[in-house]
A = this chain, B = another copy of it.
């Protein structure tokens, strides 16, 4: 049985090392065509995080960059379009992180790397993550449906990993869907409570949630 012993540091150390490599390769808004488009996107994140989607407008966002509203319209047709770009990129990075972690053959290692990488990423990018998760309800139904597709694929990958762990006898049997929701909730909710005064660095929190995630699926019990 390949279940890591939680009392030995190396399992968490190794998950942290692999997880760090995964998030280091990720970049938000990498596919945008110019630095100017990225400047507007960052200003949009700050404005939406501070006042919510409905509480701000494109002019206010442009003003914050020192560029014109007309320049902003070159890249984004509407405020909703800008929000969608932010959310889509955020969801895609989550999918990449989850996809790369769950591609690891051993379910225990996959789960621990996933918990480390997703948690540490959310802590590093907590302002963006807050907009991605808490403002996305303001999107049009079509855009919302696109995000939902990504979210469903992410949840599916997490459930597959849990199921493999159960099938191999490494994880404790249990409600796969609800357990997956719980694991993702730990990382998602980091966006709500984490900030510059949090008593953990993103790496420390990633390591802790890696351990707690392993306990949630019952790796320690199976070991």
Contact A205 B178 (CB under 8 A): yes
Q: Which of A181, A192, A220 has the most CB of B within 10 A?
A: A181
Chain B residue at minimal CB-CB distance from A175? B208
* Chain A residues packing against B (C-beta within 8 Å): 51-56, 133-135, 138, 174-175, 177-179, 181-182, 185-186, 188-190, 192-193, 199-200, 204-205, 208-209, 211-212, 215-216, 218, 220-221
Specify the main secondary structure of chain A where it touches its partner. Answer: helix
Contact B221 A216 (CB under 8 A): no
Q: Which listed residue, B181, B186, B220, touches A218 by the CB 8 Å rule?
A: B220
Chain B residue at minimal CB-CB distance from A55? B54
- Complex interface: chain B residues within 8 A of A56 (CB): 54
Q: Which listed residue, B179, B181, B221, touches A221 by the CB 8 Å rule?
A: B221
Contact A208 B178 (CB under 8 A): yes
Q: Which listed residue, B55, B185, B199, touches A177 by the CB 8 Å rule?
A: B199
12 interchain pairs, CB-CB under 8 A: A52-B54, A52-B135, A53-B55, A174-B208, A185-B189, A185-B192, A185-B193, A186-B186, A188-B189, A215-B221, A216-B216, A220-B221
